[in-house]
Amino acid sequence: MRKILILVVTAVMATAGCTVAPQQPPPPPENTTSVTLEVTKAQGTVVALVPVHINGKGPYRFLLDTGASISTIDQQLAKRLNLTFTGETADVEGVASRTTAELVRVQQWKVGTVALDPGRMAALDLRQDKRGVAGLLGSDVLYDFGHVTIDYRRERLLIPTQSPSPN
């Protein structure tokens, strides 16, 4: 009886034009740009990495960190990219530590294909990070977009498309 019921349900669905194929993810909403994330889960921790280009080089793997009040870059990478050290410092706090970091100025950078405003980042020694993270993209940058959507399941960051400046 059960096999007959399954066959009948399948036949009715096929006749009605229904399919059982896996659903494709919906396209990003209008007026947004989708940036591919690399989402990893290890030891109960989920992290999202985004591709960041700086001065036309990269992509570099930056940890998407909405809790970071200032974006950071590895000191050695900042030097290789000839970023300008401003002579200023900033206090940088993590969950279990606090340190002072030198600030660098970045003129041209983007996350995925989305250009970011010039700004400053804290330069820290990130060589001990086992994931190969080159920096953190923090809330100081994400705030400029008003809102972003982090879609962990589809591994994408949705960023509102900036409207062109009026002439």
How does pLDDT run across 105-157, given as a tens digit for each residue? 999 999 999 999 999 999 998 886 667 899 999 999 999 998 899 999 999 99
Place of tokens 């229904």: 18
Strands (E), 38-155: 38-42, 45-54, 57-65, 72-74, 84-93, 98-106, 109-111, 114-116, 119-124, 135-138, 149-151
Query: Is residue 6 in some structural domain?
Result: no
* CATH number of domain containing 107: 2.40.70.10
Q: Which two tokens stand for residue 11?
A: 């036949």
Residue 14 in domain: no
Q: Is residue 23 part of a domain?
A: no
Flag whether 33 is in a domain.
yes
Q: Is residue 105 part of a domain?
A: yes
Taking alpha carbons only, the member of 84, 38, 35 closest to residue 61 is 38
pTM: 0.76
How many Å apart are CA 6 and CA 11, to the nearest integer? 9
Domain count, the chain: 1
Q: Which residue has the higher pLDDT, 166 or 108?
A: 108
| 38-81 pLDDT tens trace | 999 877 889 999 999 999 999 999 999 988 889 999 999 999 99
User: Within a domain: residue 21?
Assistant: no
Q: Which domain holds residue 119?
A: 28-160
